[in-house]
Structure 1
Amino acid sequence: MLRGLAVDAAGAADAVEAPAGAPPGPAGALPGPAEAPVGAPSCRAEEATLAALLRCCVREVAGPRGLVWPAPPYLLLRVAGTLLRARACGGAALRFEGRPERLESGTWRPLTSDDLVVLVETELRGHNREFAGQVAASRRAVAAILAARATQEPPADPWLASEQALVYGHPFHPSPKARGGGDWLRYAPEAHAEFPVRLLGVREDVLDEGGDPGALDAMGKAPDGYRVLPAHPWQLDLLRPAFGPELIDLGPGPAVTPTSSVRTVYAPDAGVCLKFSLDVRITNCVRKNAWYELAGAVELTRRLAPLFDLTAARHPGTRWLPEPGYRSAGLGVRLREGLGVIVRRSPWAVCSPGVTPVLAAALALDAPVTDPLAWWRAYVTVVAPPVLELYFTHGVVLEPHLQNVLVGLDSVGTPVQAVFRDLEGAKLVAGRHDLSGVPPEVAGALTYDAGRGWARVVYCLLVNHLTEIAATVAGTDDELLRELWRIARDVLARQADELGRPLPLSDLLAGAPLPAKANLGVRWARAADRAAGYVPIANPLA
């Protein structure tokens, strides 16, 4: 847990005295990700940017240094020697209420995101000339998204509407909406974008494909001797490929709708999702399909199919989205990766009749709850046990974070199914699978050692996912939040018993600290996302 901050099972902190002379907090509220700020787009963007960066400071800057402590109704922290305070609820999810403030010459004054950027830069030292610009770019992007949403209608499809609901992005990232690459707004899911793909023709002798990408052939017609290759128009603008006899431009294709990851779209005419390469940094990563990831998606689909069948036999609400094939142009690594597209099954194709898939991240904004305890028990039951079953029984690491899980709701809004997706993040535990015959580069990208895999499972499932859903269900009711975590512990303990009480899961239930991904740290270091470390936070299951 964070040193200097005593937290109980729901994240409520033990009381200490507020600084002498501290005035009462201001009226109004600074919402967390569960509630949209009210006001002009620029003001709402500033509030959201400040909240996200302040969460990062609590988790990664002040917390590990023992410089976070409670002074009800406030949470206090010190960054670069400056005392800050904010009203907080939601346990580890850190939902802020009211305007955060800084103590200046004995007086509490409103804190701005620019103020906090300066404090972070002073605290972390070193040199990162990009950091302030990334935070500012993210703030401008949120304002642009809010303005665009005011003039657009969301999709009628409830699943797609949920995919396009994530206006503010990752709640624990310093620049969750910073994007490069020109006219990005026309392709932004949060702005309710829809656009036609571009169709390319790849001459068959230079075609690079694996598995079964046949769904792509339904998207258009290519001349004899060529195969259809859909391309993201934004990526084509970035790549500017040379067209000629081997690669031809067939013009606009069917309309598609971008999902939450930006680069993955839903193609309703083909009935599939398409995961494109996109040479743009979104949160921590440049979103390009490396050549070994193209092949790895097909390999994992083949290997995971029987394991998901076994898991679904024990947990009937379990679903997943296979990635049966990919297609690209074998014209050098740059175009092979840059034009590579992975075919992914649609969630509507795997959910049972009468079940509506909804993105978990959208439920973290607004959960349709009438009976919070029953709803939460159903939610944890469909989401968590399959993840643990796959890890401990089958040696499979899923990344069940909020954007990788769709929750199937029945006609009254009760969670009855969980759909897991995105095989780029799924891995096999090293030593538990025979990868002989798989190219070394592909095999290396498919595996994690057991410790790294477990940390990823715990972070994605508990810290990124269940913590946020619980905070939304509980709102400001601390006792309800504690009861939600008692229910979660009961569900996980039953699964632990069925699995024979494996030691890592027993440690988790005993209160071992949770690993929280250090997004601020990896952005400050300008490192690849795979280099991101973890910081320990309090375990609400304890």
Structure 2
Amino acid sequence: MLLTDLTELTGLTEPTRPAVAAGDATATALLNCLIREVCAPEQQVWPDGSHLVARLPRAGVVLRTGLARPPAGPTYRLAPPYEERREDEWIPASWDRLANLVAGELELATGRPNPEFLTQVDDSHTALAAIIAARSGPSDDRYIASEQALVAGHRFHPSPKARQGAPGDWLQYAPETRARFRPRWLAVPEDVITEEGDPDAFTALSSYGPPAPPGRTLLPVHPWQFSLLADSPVLQKALAQGLLLDLGPSDVEAVPTSSVRTAYVPDADVFCKFSLDVRITNCVRKNAWYELAGAIALNELLPPVFEKLNSTLLAEPAYRSVMLPDRRLYEGLGVILRQGVKSLPGTPLLAGSLTDPYNTFLADLPALSTPEDARAWWDAYVAQVAPPVLSAYLDHGIVLEPHLQNVLICVDSGGMPVHAAFRDLEGTKLTSGRWDLTHLPARVAENLTYSPERGWNRVVYCLLVNHLTEIAAAVADLHPHLDRTLWQDAREHFAAHDHHPQVRALLAGVPLPAKANLRTRWSRMADRGATYVPTPNPLAAPRPL
């Protein structure tokens, strides 16, 4: 079945998008981070009628925001206007004023400056403004529309749209603009190509490329990455001598997904996870050599487990690159194939699209039209997402990274969740001591493992704080009085695992670990070493009156 037919079959139409202003979205993200990581832990935030007031503990500045709805649940729903207290009056606080205040507070709190921080926030604002201006008309494919819906990005990141390079370099490849592009193709001699995994995995994709000359293998390349590598002397020499043949693009189109560098090729029903030697939000998005090998290792180890869990982890069956005397080229031209979505039941939707405040994906699902229906929808959603993640970790030592961009929720014709698919083997890890990885190179094995404590923090953060909390808040935006009821319903799905002490602690209400994106950016720490701050646990049983 073609994905372009799904809209007609399901009756789900492309949602309309409320207006988004780059300044307001930037200010909201900064304040969300400030409140979660600085003000709330020091009890410097409080509601005041239809507003939320927050005090910067060391700078002493007092800020006020609007609230989109009454404060309930574990996160606030901030809304303009954003204001700063000056003597006896409230004055407007622009996004760049807020960025300077946040920077000043963090410098006082840490004793360390960060001259990059304001530039990163400004870059994110510039990128968001460019995206809004360039965003084209809607896709007629519901799944693709959901992948390209995250206009404002992560609600709890100080620079969610920071993207290395000028907008003119990347707008044509940006998912948020609803872009499509044609990959370039290199023809590589068989003794220069390097690949691992299923030898037939690239066959279907290559059939959409240009004809390969005899004795050569096709390698798809992201055109943005190809331009970034153009200064490589090794690549220049290989092209000049005809060792590598640049065949240019073919007619097949690729659709950039929410991660920017991973593109979906609908005709072949396959994802290409390309390298990009650019920093996007936190990290330079290249396929390191140990990540290429690690994907294949996990793809061999994990499928039997997910069959037992009756769940889906999208396979990454093979990678391909070139073996030339330059590691930058080996990693930069490395591409990982990922299983497509046409075999999934129902209509797959990116989970993040259901929480983005600038589209109406969730509101347009018929299954949430009444409070009773919305409660049943949430129950079905949690049932599809939470048990596989918990069981994978607790029973099998597998650390999934089920944040909003790594989960596809499949819905039926009425929008009811019927299945969840998890993706991204780069973020998937194994609990140290639970798996035998002695057959792997030491650097590969190291990258594939987390300590039990670190793995649990990652699972709880991604599943509860980043994902389910945001889904619940989006449902409660539609039906506000359900806010607390939703979490009491969710307890049942966690209670099924209460023979594990970690789950009993969650049900007892221990604070949840929230990834400290603001502090991580300020400290310029690698994302893998990000710290956590405690945040309220909505799973806690209600206290008797």
User: Shared topology, TM-score over 0.5?
Assistant: yes
CA contact (8 A) 1:372 1:473 kept: yes
Distance (Å, rounded) in 1 between the aligned partners of 2:347 and 2:75: 26
> How far off its partner does 1:476 sit?
7.2
- What secondary structure sits across from 1:208 in the alignment? strand
Q: Which of 415, 418, 442 is the matching residue for 2:417?
A: 415
Distance (Å, rounded) in 2 between the aligned partners of 1:223 and 1:249: 12
Corresponding position: 1:59 with 2:36: yes
Cα deviation 1:241-278 (Å, max 9, x = unaligned)? 32233322111132111000000001123220000001
Q: Which of 289, 293, 309 is the matching residue for 1:291?
A: 289
Distance (Å, rounded) in 2 between the aligned partners of 1:476 and 1:61: 29
Distance (Å, rounded) in 2 between the aligned partners of 1:475 and 1:393: 35
Corresponding position: 1:155 with 2:155: no
Distance (Å, rounded) in 1 between the aligned partners of 2:66 and 2:386: 31
Distance (Å, rounded) in 1 between the aligned partners of 2:228 and 2:163: 13
Counterpart in the other structure of 2:302: 304
CA contact (8 A) 1:301 1:323 kept: yes
Q: 1:453 to 1:62 in 2, by over 3 A?
A: same
> How far off its partner does 1:478 sit?
4.8
- TM-score, reference length from structure 2: 0.87
Q: Which of 248, 251, 258 is the matching residue for 1:251?
A: 248
> How far off its partner does 1:93 sit?
3.4
- What secondary structure sits across from 1:428 in the alignment? strand
Cα deviation 1:393-439 (Å, max 9, x = unaligned)? 11111000000000000011000100100010001111111112111
Distance (Å, rounded) in 2 between the aligned partners of 1:60 and 1:444: 30
CA contact (8 A) 1:513 1:538 kept: yes
CA contact (8 A) 2:352 2:405 kept: yes
Counterpart in the other structure of 2:353: 362
Distance (Å, rounded) in 1 between the aligned partners of 2:93 and 2:118: 16
Structure 1 runs of 4+ aligned residues shifted over 4 Å read 34-37
> How far off its partner does 1:99 sit?
0.9
Counterpart in the other structure of 2:217: 227
Q: Which amino acid aligns with 2:334?
A: G
Q: 1:36 to 1:526 in 2, by over 3 A?
A: farther
Counterpart in the other structure of 1:45: 22
> How far off its partner does 1:90 sit?
5.5
Counterpart in the other structure of 1:205: 191
Corresponding position: 1:218 with 2:218: no
- What secondary structure sits across from 1:437 in the alignment? coil
Q: Which amino acid aligns with 2:440?
A: V
- What secondary structure sits across from 1:176 in the alignment? coil
Counterpart in the other structure of 2:102: 120
- What secondary structure sits across from 2:242 in the alignment? coil
Counterpart in the other structure of 2:314: 321
Counterpart in the other structure of 1:164: 148
Counterpart in the other structure of 2:11: none
- What secondary structure sits across from 1:175 in the alignment? coil
Corresponding position: 1:342 with 2:336: yes
Counterpart in the other structure of 2:12: none
Q: Which amino acid aligns with 1:338?
A: G
> How far off its partner does 1:181 sit?
2.7
For structure 2, the residue ranges without an aligned partner over 5 or more in a row are: 1-14, 541-545
> How far off its partner does 1:527 sit?
2.1
Distance (Å, rounded) in 1 between the aligned partners of 2:531 and 2:218: 41
Cα deviation 1:495-534 (Å, max 9, x = unaligned)? 214xxx1111110111010000111111112221112110
Cα deviation 1:167-210 (Å, max 9, x = unaligned)? 00000011101111341111000001001000011211121110
Corresponding position: 1:108 with 2:90: yes
Distance (Å, rounded) in 2 between the aligned partners of 1:425 and 1:520: 20
CA contact (8 A) 2:314 2:340 kept: yes
CA contact (8 A) 2:117 2:522 kept: yes
- What secondary structure sits across from 2:154 in the alignment? coil
- What secondary structure sits across from 2:79 in the alignment? strand
Cα deviation 1:457-482 (Å, max 9, x = unaligned)? 00000000001110110117553100
Counterpart in the other structure of 2:180: 194
CA contact (8 A) 1:347 1:419 kept: no
RMSD of the alignment, in Å? 1.6
Distance (Å, rounded) in 2 between the aligned partners of 1:228 and 1:476: 49
Counterpart in the other structure of 1:536: 534
Q: Which amino acid aligns with 1:124?
A: L
Counterpart in the other structure of 1:85: 64
Q: Which amino acid aligns with 2:152?
A: Y
Q: Percent identity?
A: 54
CA contact (8 A) 2:147 2:175 kept: yes
For structure 1, the residue ranges without an aligned partner over 5 or more in a row are: 1-33, 313-317
Distance (Å, rounded) in 1 between the aligned partners of 2:444 and 2:283: 19
- TM-score, reference length from structure 1: 0.88
Distance (Å, rounded) in 2 between the aligned partners of 1:90 and 1:277: 41
CA contact (8 A) 2:63 2:82 kept: yes
Q: Which of 47, 52, 74 is the matching residue for 2:51?
A: 74
CA contact (8 A) 2:73 2:484 kept: no
The within-5 A match list for 1:246-285 is 246-253=243-250, 254-285=252-283
CA contact (8 A) 1:459 1:515 kept: yes
- What secondary structure sits across from 1:289 in the alignment? coil
The within-5 A match list for 1:7-46 is 38=19, 44-46=21-23
Q: Which of 81, 84, 97 is the matching residue for 1:99?
A: 81
Q: Which amino acid aligns with 1:120?
A: V
Corresponding position: 1:177 with 2:171: no
